[in-house]
A and B are shown apart, each in its own frame.
Chain A
Amino acid sequence: MGTILGGRGMRGGWILAVLSLLILAWLVLNDLVDDWGRLEGGMDNLVIFVEESMWPPNWSVLEAQSYPVCENDIELFCSVGYLGMMETIKIAFVSTMLGFIGALCLSSLAARNLVPLYVALPFRFILAAARSLPSLIWAILFVIIIGFGPLAGVLAMTFYTVGYLGKLQYEAFEGMPSDCLEVSRAMGLSHPSTVVSVVIPETGNHLLSQLMFMFEYNVRHGTVIGIVGAGGIGYYITTYLKFLQYDKVLALLIIIFFVVVIIDLLSLMIRSFVTDEGDVRRPTWLRGMIKLWKKRRASTDAE
């Protein structure tokens, strides 16, 4: 009996469950869509749109704008692509850092293994509330409250970051080994001391990884909040969309893609310094650079 349930019978049950869910999904979709005829010719439309409007990307977004007059020797630094991307990165950086600190304060009061349930619940509620509004809605709210510009973007992303990172952080805290917390409790360390000296160092790798993920997320979402006037590269994307300059939009999207890839590489590099050896492998070029740097330092010391 046990073999049947744990073996083929169990597998059959799983297959049946997945199939039933797929059929249910199809039925719901069928109910939602009233005209399947719209799909007809959709692919042709896409090809025409890409060929005629988007491709090739218009790299003039990396040339200096005609106004204001560029005073820099390097034209790129006065271009829409560079200025927009830099503003988005700055907004993302500031809001990630502010959000990280805010989230740490709240999540240390929301983790069940650090505080009693009656303390944790209200803080979990606050974090859930901050998270339940997408960054775009936060951006619209702040644009209404304080007007257009990067400050609205920073505040919107900070609030969202607090909610999102806060949840990830208290889950990481709750997953940490209990023995070091018990020692600090028995020794009589205060809650802030326990958080600073035990919890943060013990979960440091998770926190760093979440921080890098959030920065990358904020860079990507910085483009979206720009659309509602909260600053960054999104502002230029909306403008080009309004004027049907899809080739320029594509060029900006490619720039965003490269920046996200670079942030991903940076994240990998930073995490390789703090994780257990072999856990996150350093890229070959980084290992080469570290070796070279050590060699140079050794030769300087010898001199």
Chain B
Amino acid sequence: MSTQQPVLELKNVDIGYNDALVNNVIARVLPGEIIAVLGPSGIGKTTLIRTIAGLVEPLQGEVTLHTKKKGGLGYIPQRLGLVRHASVRHNVALGAKASISFSKTMFEERRNRVDEAVKALGIEDKLKEPVRRLSGGQLRRVATARALAQRPQLLLADEFLSELDHKNVEIVIEAVQQLLEDGTSIIMVEHHEENVRLFATRIWVIEDNQLHDYSLEEWEQSLEEEE
């Protein structure tokens, strides 16, 4: 096991609302890792993400985030969580706002981060547009830009690559590379195997109320065995 300080630790965690969907989760996430969470619908993937985000209390066990900086946790839910009646700039700026501390240069820093993020996602021409007028793919890019502007240490993304065509997936992945270079870890719920192969470094498969932790190679091997 690596001696590196993990970003996230799950110790004997039971996840669910009333009854446990996933039992006794023991896992840790290291800086720079990209974890894809796989499993059939309703198995508890979103609940796992929401538990790590602190939105659902674990039924048992301990979830520890080792994020030191302000706004260290980024979150892109399935419904994206954008402020529909506000502009693209306002939404992306929320990410910067969450992570930049009060200082003389904070407004300038916020502006720079927003400009960089929208440029990376190719939505710089939509800055003034209200979010409610954008297409599904554009909305996902705005949510990703918000995370980019936040520069979190751990990003939780629930199916953020779904509904995107191949070209848009490439744009988003290229933009997220920037975060990975800064050492951000990502936990993402994903259904498409090709996106997992393109992006993930480790796989969490939820099966029979258990979380199985695989490396990419182990996962590929398990798929071959199943076939």
Q: Does the CB pair B77–A187 fall under 8 Å? A: no
Interface size class for chain B? 20 to 34
Flag whether B1 is at the interface (Cβ < 8 A): no
7 contacts between A and B (CB under 8 A): A182-B75, A183-B75, A184-B81, A186-B156, A187-B94, A187-B95, A189-B97
Q: Does the CB pair A202–B72 fall under 8 Å? A: no
Where chain A touches its partner, the secondary structure class is helix
Q: Does the CB pair A198–B83 fall under 8 Å? A: yes
Q: Does the CB pair A180–B73 fall under 8 Å? A: no
Residues of chain B within 8 A of A198, CB atoms compared: 83, 94
Residues of chain A within 8 A of B55, CB atoms compared: 182, 185-186
Flag whether A197 is at the interface (Cβ < 8 A): yes
Flag whether A147 is at the interface (Cβ < 8 A): no
Interface size class for chain A? 20 to 34
Residues of chain A within 8 A of B50, CB atoms compared: 182
Q: Does the CB pair B150–A187 fall under 8 Å? A: yes
Residues of chain A within 8 A of B150, CB atoms compared: 187
Given A183-B76, A187-B71, A187-B74, 9 more A-B residue pairs with CB atoms under 8 Å apart are: A180-B82, A181-B81, A183-B81, A186-B55, A186-B75, A188-B70, A197-B94, A201-B86, A204-B85
Least Cβ–Cβ distance between A115 and chain B, in angstroms: 16
Q: Does the CB pair A197–B81 fall under 8 Å? A: no
Residues of chain A within 8 A of B84, CB atoms compared: 177, 180, 202
Flag whether A30 is at the interface (Cβ < 8 A): no
Q: Does the CB pair B83–A180 fall under 8 Å? A: yes
Q: Does the CB pair A201–B85 fall under 8 Å? A: yes
Flag whether A179 is at the interface (Cβ < 8 A): yes
Pick from B75, B83, B86, B132: contact of A187, CB below 8 A: B75
Chain A to chain B: the 9 pairs with minimum beta-carbon distance, closest first: A183-B81, A186-B75, A187-B98, A179-B81, A186-B53, A201-B86, A179-B79, A180-B81, A201-B83
Task: Fill in one digit per residue for A194-233: 1 if any B CB lies within 8 Å of its CB, else 0.
Answer: 0001100110110000000000000000000000000000
Flag whether A193 is at the interface (Cβ < 8 A): yes
Flag whether B90 is at the interface (Cβ < 8 A): yes
Residues of chain A within 8 A of B71, CB atoms compared: 187-188
Least Cβ–Cβ distance between B127 and chain A, in angstroms: 15
Flag whether B80 is at the interface (Cβ < 8 A): yes
With A179-B80, A201-B83, A204-B85: A193-B75 Cβ-Cβ less than 8 Å: no
Flag whether B54 is at the interface (Cβ < 8 A): yes
Q: Does the CB pair A186–B54 fall under 8 Å? A: yes
Query: Which A-chain residue is minimally distant from B50 (CB atoms)?
Result: A182
Q: Does the CB pair B94–A184 fall under 8 Å? A: yes
Residues of chain A within 8 A of B90, CB atoms compared: 197, 201
